Amino acid sequence: MKFEEWKPFYNEIVTTMGYDVMKDREAAEILQELLLKNKNYIKPHYLREIIEGKKVYIFGAGPSLELALKYLSFKDGIKISADGATSALLEFGLVPDIVVTDLDGRFEDIRRADLLGAYIVVHAHGDNIEKLKEYVPQLEKVLGTCQTEPLDIVHNFGGFTDGDRAVFLAEEFGAEEIILVGFDFGDVVGKWSKPHLKEHAPIWESKRKKFEFAQKLLQWLKKNGKAKIRRIVCHPIDYAISKCYIER
């Protein structure tokens, strides 16, 4: 997505969510300085090499993620986890190829994924500056992103929440097919979404607004992008069996 296409979405997000544009810009500058100082940033073409022309599974943190990980194998594609979903993948013995995060998932798991070979796409925004300062120096292979104007080594491919940003990233780097897993949205937030959640939780107001933007952005991309985007849905049949299928 070009920055000019992203701008109207961002303006609406800032107005609805009450974000501070100057702080979002400051976060992007801080992330760029941290990456230059620690020399732990990667060039975007690394991601193109692994994504272009491929089937890409993108894992969100919705409640159905557990059933999908239990009953399906994801061997025939590249795996991108959105933040908290990284913990679930690791729990099921899968290592994501790429993690997309604003660093509010369980950091031990994000760092473990990095050490096991994943590229970590770290997003800078006005409300995660302290996390950037603490965690970015501990990572090895980072691609920086922001939601304001892109900088030399901090990119903006479009997208808002970790989940839909991962989808915009896959589109940007030429994925042929994108399959969403654990993208339930709805009224229940999956327990992997936040480190303090022990169980799936009823949705709170700011998260509901985030989900609305995420869904709107995904609709836009389905219409305007090149990749075919589909979703895996999983329903429990009884305590031992589940039915998972790809939505048409």
Ligand X SMILES: Nc1ncnc2c1ncn2[C@@H]1O[C@H](COP(=O)(O)OP(=O)(O)OP(=O)(O)O)[C@@H](O)[C@H]1O
Ligand Y SMILES: Nc1nc2c(c(=O)[nH]1)N=C(CO)CN2
Give yes or no for a contact between 213 and 163, defined as CB atoms under 8 angstroms apart: no
Q: Does residue 83 bind Mg ion (CB under 5 A)?
A: yes
Alpha helices by DSSP H, listed for the chain, are 3-17, 21-38, 45-51, 65-71, 85-91, 107-115, 129-135, 162-172, 205-224
Give the per-residue contact string, 36-65, with ligand X (x = CB under 6 A; - = no).
Answer: ------------------------xxx---
CA distance 79 to 76: 9
Q: Does residue 171 bind ligand Y (CB under 6 A)?
A: no
Token readout for 187 is: 């009224």
Strands 242-246 and 78-82: unpaired
Token readout for 119 is: 């590229």
Cross-strand partners of 81: 59, 99
Stretch of 56-64, 66-74, 119-127, 187-195 contacting ligand Y, by CB under 6 A: 119-127
Pick the binder of Mg ion from 104, 127, 140, 176 (CB under 5 A).
104
Answer with the entry of ligand X, Mg ion, ligand Y, none that 184 interacts with (C-beta below 5 to 8 A by kind).
ligand X
CA distance 222 to 15: 25
Pick the binder of ligand Y from 84, 96, 126, 182 (CB under 6 A).
126
Answer with the entry of Mg ion, ligand Y, ligand X, none that 126 interacts with (C-beta below 5 to 8 A by kind).
ligand Y
Give yes or no for a contact between 101 and 120, defined as CB atoms under 8 angstroms apart: yes
Q: Does residue 102 bind Mg ion (CB under 5 A)?
A: yes
- Min. distance of Cβ 117 from ligand X in angstroms? 21
Token readout for 214 is: 């995420």
- Min. distance of Cβ 160 from ligand Y in angstroms? 5
Give residues in contact with ligand Y (CB under 6 A). Answer: 19, 24, 102, 125-127, 147, 160-162, 210
Give residues in contact with ligand X (CB under 6 A). Answer: 60-62, 82-85, 102, 104-105, 161-164, 183-186, 188-190, 193, 207, 210, 214
